[in-house]
Amino acid sequence: MRRNKLSNAIILVVLAVLFILAPLLYPNQSVPFQMMAFMTLAQGVNLLYGFTGYLPFGYVGFFGSGAYGVSILVLLLHWSVIPAVIGGGLFAVVVALLLSPLLRLSGAYFSIGSLAASEIVYYVVSNPNMQNITQGPYGVNLAGIYDPNTSYYAMLVILLIFTAVVMYVKNSTFGMSLLAIKEDPVSAAMAGINVVRRRVAIWLASAFAAGLVGAVYGWYVSVFYPSSVFDLTISIFAIVFTLFGGGGTVLGPIVGTIVLYGLYNTIGVSSPQYFQLIYGLLIVVLVMFLPQGLTSLLKRRGINVP
């Protein structure tokens, strides 16, 4: 237990130092910002998929809800930035609560259902009849709160918080009960575990993570459109980064994001055709030889992976 606490503390310190120094060492601040955003989204997917087996193809719906939540609170209700960001995260929680009946589904049915639900949220937000509330399809301008430096460090705080949340879940009886539900929900229920309540709790926590990321993203860029914050690529990246690193672990989403997003910015921006080839080959190799992700290599050597 003491060793786990030490390794967890080291991970948090390394992340904090890495992203505090990143703007000083890398000329484009948006790259480490986006890496932190995807790392947090991957941890959010990890909470849901890694501990319950639900793979949310429509995860971007919570991200977009957070971005539009902060815009509504700032532009219409004139909230200050920090409460609005938290409120944006809670917007995503409300959406997740409304969509919680999806948890009655399983496997591919849940994944497709979550994708359809995110499309519904997108069409509601981008509807021209919603212009007085969401600006409809015409985009949002938050130039009045534009502050890339403060929002950068806000994203770092959120990353550290949800990495710590995954650490707690992984090492707690709550996390063990989730894994029991993942393996056999009927047996877990017979053992006295409230299956529905625990599934809903982790679903809401996962949505809150995405909502906060979306809210801070809206603060950081200040101008965005429905098509950009409800882009399915956001879900795909978050899921792939999680699976590539290894779900159900703390390090998996971090490693997956660093490797794949680093590869994307190294090759994908200048030579997208080569990136797609290399990216595809990596995924094929992973599925064939490392279905549990890169961190499974350490487990095979008898190393305890946080």
Let me know if 107 is exposed, middle or buried by CB neighbors in 10 A (0-12, 13-18, 19+).
exposed
Residue 146 has pLDDT above 80, yes or no: yes
Residue 235 has pLDDT above 70, yes or no: yes
Task: Tell me which of 2-6, 70-74, 75-79, 185-189 is least confident.
Answer: 2-6
Let me know if 46 is exposed, middle or buried by CB neighbors in 10 A (0-12, 13-18, 19+).
buried
Q: Give the domain extent around 30.
A: 2-230
Rounded Cα–Cα distance for residues 45 and 12 (Å): 19
Whether residue 169 lies inside any domain: the answer is: yes
Whether residue 297 lies inside any domain: the answer is: no
Tell me the average pLDDT across 224-253.
93
Whether residue 50 lies inside any domain: the answer is: yes
Give the pLDDT band of residue 269 (cuts 50, 70, 90): low
Residue 140 has pLDDT above 90, yes or no: yes
Residue 192 has pLDDT above 90, yes or no: no
Tell me the average pLDDT across 102-125.
94
Number of folded domains that form the chain: 1
Instruction: Give 224's strand partners.
Output: 140
User: Angle 272-289/232-245 helices, nearest 10 degrees?
Assistant: 50
Residues in Cβ contact with 143 at an 8 Å cutoff, skipping those fewer than 6 apart: 222, 223
Residue 220 has pLDDT above 80, yes or no: yes
Whether residue 110 lies inside any domain: the answer is: yes
Whether residue 197 lies inside any domain: the answer is: yes
CA atoms within 13 A on the CB side of 9: 6
Whether residue 249 lies inside any domain: the answer is: no
Whether residue 184 lies inside any domain: the answer is: yes
Whether residue 195 lies inside any domain: the answer is: yes
Residues in Cβ contact with 302 at an 8 Å cutoff, skipping those fewer than 6 apart: none
CA atoms within 13 A on the CB side of 273: 0
The model carries a pTM of 0.95
